[in-house]
Chain A
Amino acid sequence: MRSVSGRVGIWLLLAAVLVLLPHALSFSQQEILVFLTINILLVASYRLLTLTGEWSLGHAVIMGVGAYASALYTKEFGIFVPVSMVLGACTAALVAMILSYPLFRMKGFYFLIGSFAAGEIIRLFWNRFREPFGGPKGIKRIDPMPDFDILVWQFDFFEPVSYYYFSAVVVGASLWLMWRIERSPVGLTFHAVHWQDKLAEATGVNVRAYRTLAFVVASGFAGLSGALLAHYIGAVNPNIFDLELMVFVLTWTIIGGTATIYGPVIGCIALTIVNEIVLREFGLEQMRPFVYGLLMIVSVLFLPKGLESLVQKGLARIASSGLDRDMGRERETPGS
């Protein structure tokens, strides 16, 4: 009983912090917070893909597929923005499904290179075709999220705070869905495919279908993050979704760790803080690649299981001290 109410309390506290957080920040920091929220969805979806053991270099481009698709649906067909975001996510999943046919003939390193090549092909399409992708300049004046009111609260989505709330709800729901998937037998099968694909196949698992499933679902969520981004910044171009973003995703994932769903999220938050607060404050933005590289090496050397391992240790300590307290009380009862 106590642990359940305690857990609810922690979630309520977290929700309160997330609601109040933007009001403690400056305008530019609020904007960064929106990007951070979107990036959390991107990196969490990347971890879902890595559950089956395959690491892709095309994830940033898949995010772009969602962004372009959602932007085009609103511009060309006048589809209501939230609906087109979902359609954008579906488009990204569909593109991933098509790509999976050639890509999953490969494994490991070859898959990595193949996914990079596939991503670059998509980027070349965006660059080459003015219609409908707008060429190197991309698509501009993308419809923003329409304003709406809930009771007394008015949401004007040019305001970063409003868009932050909107994207936090979308990202929160997506994280919950991914958590449900991972905790289910489907997630168990993903892990099985990762650790011993031969044994998994011998027990009747269609290994390739499960790799494809993880890839498609992860790409859908990446596409959703892209759609969130597109309707916030109002313009997309091929350079947003380049290899640099992909390297960031990899860095967040590696520094955060991949064993838990919150690992990459922590990595993303920590590095965004390093990036936006520490580096910007000291005017060291030019040194960003150097700092990122250094952090990556340091974390691989000293925290090979990522930042999440610190959290896991902390949780284990809290759990054991809580247990001690409970046991102590039980021991007291017979005497009293």
Chain B
Amino acid sequence: MSAKLLEVSDLCMRFGGLAAVDNLSFAVEKGAIHGVIGPNGAGKTTTFNVISGFYKPTAGTVRLRGETISGLRMYEVARRGIVRTFQHSTLFSEMTVLENVLVGTHLNYRPNIFAAIVGWDSDDRRAARAKSEETLEFFGLLERAGDRAGDLPHGHQRALGLAIAMVARPEVMLLDEPFTGMNPEETNSMMSLMFKLRDNGVTILIVEHDMHAIMGICDVITVMNFGKLLAKGRPDEIRRDPAVIEAYLGSARDVA
């Protein structure tokens, strides 16, 4: 068994009286593609928001390589190696494709205002640009580098979202519903991109509705329902788990 990279233990997130996440525990292994699924309102996105530092958890901890990261701000979590993407096409749509990716290089080439004025950062700038172009090439976006990001077709916009996260060279990528609104062709090319990312040593945690995609790419799946852990296991185990089937389709009693 390989090492636990990201560990969520006894996580609770309450909004007023509502427990969006209730005593959730799971661990993500290094190098895995780990899926989090569940019916609408199961608390998947909230879990994501807590891990990435968007929310502070009410109770419980998130640990990366043993270090507690829950409660840190989002940029501090990013600096420790967890970079997230957002639902829908959240991009810097007024900026060019290349500029979008250049923002992602911020972590590795931290800009400095004095060096920028004097021009001492030209090595960094050149390296950041080379890295960005390399990443765009990886995602098949290099020929559109000069286009406005908002003008890209939907599939390319989602790929650009991944590119921004990828260029930061994260250890863990959190992908929030990357397959939403994609046609089967785009879904397939996105799936192969994720395999490529995993082969590059990135650990991936996905929240997703698209069952076909999630069953196809995940090594491990965690199923949530009403903020609680319902099941975890390999895709074929999850597919046959009666509790999961009940949560998705309703029990026989509900139907009758």
What is the interface of chain A, defined by CB distance below 8 A to chain B? 177, 180-181, 184-189, 191-192, 195-196, 198-207, 213, 217
Whether B103 and A192, one on each chain, are in contact in the complex, defined by CB atoms closer than 8 angstroms, is yes
Residues of B near A195 (CB, < 8 A) are: 92-95
**CB-defined A-B contacts under 8 Å, sample of 11:** A180-B117, A181-B116, A188-B103, A191-B92, A191-B95, A198-B90, A199-B92, A200-B92, A203-B104, A203-B106, A205-B106
State in angstroms the CA–CA spacing of A203 and B73 once bound together. Answer: 12
Q: From the candidates A186, A199, A204, A217, name the one contacting B91 in the complex (CB within 8 A).
A: A199
Q: Name the CB-closest residue of B to A202.
A: B84
Residues of B near A202 (CB, < 8 A) are: 52, 74-75, 78, 83-86, 165
Report how many residues on chain B are interfacial, defined by Cβ distance under 8 Å.
Answer: 36
Whether B91 and A196, one on each chain, are in contact in the complex, defined by CB atoms closer than 8 angstroms, is yes
B68-100 residues with Cβ-Cβ distance < 8 A to A are 73-75, 78-79, 83-86, 90-95, 99
| 9 closest A-B pairs by CB | A184-B116, A185-B111, A204-B78, A204-B107, A192-B103, A201-B74, A195-B92, A186-B111, A180-B117
Q: Name the CB-closest residue of B to A191.
A: B95
Q: From the candidates A180, A181, A188, A204, name the one contacting B79 in the complex (CB within 8 A).
A: A204
Residues of B near A184 (CB, < 8 A) are: 111, 113, 116-117, 121, 125
Whole-angstrom distance between the Cβ of A311 and the nearest chain B Cβ: 19
State in angstroms the CA–CA spacing of A309 and B171 once bound together. Answer: 43
* Contact A185:B104 (CB < 8 A) given known A180-B116, A202-B83, A204-B79: no
Q: Does B168 contact A (CB under 8 A)?
A: yes
State in angstroms the CA–CA spacing of A177 and B117 once bound together. Answer: 7
Residues of A near B164 (CB, < 8 A) are: 199, 203
State in angstroms the CA–CA spacing of A119 and B164 once bound together. Answer: 39
State in angstroms the CA–CA spacing of A196 and B104 once bound together. Answer: 13
**19 more CB-based (< 8 A) A-B contacts, given A186-B111, A202-B84:** A185-B106, A185-B111, A186-B112, A188-B99, A188-B111, A189-B103, A191-B99, A195-B93, A196-B90, A196-B92, A199-B86, A199-B91, A199-B92, A201-B75, A202-B165, A203-B165, A204-B75, A205-B75, A205-B106
Whole-angstrom distance between the Cβ of A262 and the nearest chain B Cβ: 19
Residues of B near A205 (CB, < 8 A) are: 75, 103, 106
Q: Name the CB-closest residue of A to B90.
A: A199
State in angstroms the CA–CA spacing of A188 and B121 once bound together. Answer: 14
State in angstroms the CA–CA spacing of A203 and B105 once bound together. Answer: 8
Q: Does B128 contact A (CB under 8 A)?
A: yes
Whole-angstrom distance between the Cβ of B174 and the nearest chain A Cβ: 9
Q: Name the CB-closest residue of A to B93.
A: A195
Whole-angstrom distance between the Cβ of A305 and the nearest chain B Cβ: 12
* Contact A204:B90 (CB < 8 A) given known A177-B117, A189-B111, A217-B113: no
Whole-angstrom distance between the Cβ of A51 and the nearest chain B Cβ: 12
Whether A185 and B109, one on each chain, are in contact in the complex, defined by CB atoms closer than 8 angstroms, is yes
State in angstroms the CA–CA spacing of A234 and B94 once bound together. Answer: 45
Whole-angstrom distance between the Cβ of A208 and the nearest chain B Cβ: 9
Whether A204 and B106, one on each chain, are in contact in the complex, defined by CB atoms closer than 8 angstroms, is yes
State in angstroms the CA–CA spacing of A199 and B91 once bound together. Answer: 7
Interface centre among B92, B93, B125 (most CB of A within 10 A): B92
Q: Does B159 contact A (CB under 8 A)?
A: no
Residues of B near A181 (CB, < 8 A) are: 113, 116-117
Residues of B near A206 (CB, < 8 A) are: 73, 75
